[in-house]
Structure 1
Amino acid sequence: MPNTFKVGDHVSWNSEAGRVRGHILRVHRKDVDYRGYIHHASPDDPQYEIKSDKTDHIALHKGWALRRLGS
């Protein structure tokens, strides 16, 4: 079972620039078209929409790519 998170959780993930931190804005439980790319999601394997703490960039990731951080 993949990691599950909720809106507001503080998480981190790997990117080309290193470890990034952000807060979950939305949980997508069905496929979502974001910037012309379909991100596949389901109730059992959602996509998490996350806003970076430093750059305000929005990213979508599966639960297995995320690590929960303390408040």
Structure 2
Amino acid sequence: MARKLSKGDKVEWETSQGKTEGKVVKKQTTPTKIKGHKVKASKTDPQYIVESAKTGKRAAHKPGALHKA
């Protein structure tokens, strides 16, 4: 499980294509949408918005899915 992550931290996560690397854009603590997908984030269940180093696309992940690179 990821420790406290901060904006700019380099992280990696698993995708269906394998391991992906990128950086933390922000900690999301309120519901939002990314590419039409609902992100059910809250203060008690935050998610991190990450940006892929390879594609530049953004996605939301729960803290347990991210590992510092």
Unmatched 5+ residue regions in structure 2?
none
1:12 aligns with 2:12: yes
Unmatched 5+ residue regions in structure 1?
none
Cα separation, partners in 2 of 1:45 and 1:3, compared to 1, 3 Å: farther
Cα separation, partners in 2 of 1:23 and 1:4, compared to 1, 3 Å: same
CA RMSD of aligned residues (A): 1.8
Cα separation, partners in 2 of 1:10 and 1:2, compared to 1, 3 Å: closer
1:68 aligns with 2:44: no
TM-score, with length taken from structure 1: 0.84
Give the drift of 1:21: 0.4
Q: Percent identity?
A: 32
Q: Which contiguous aligned blocks of 4+ residues in structure 1 show a shift greater than 4 angstroms?
A: none
TM-score, with length taken from structure 2: 0.86
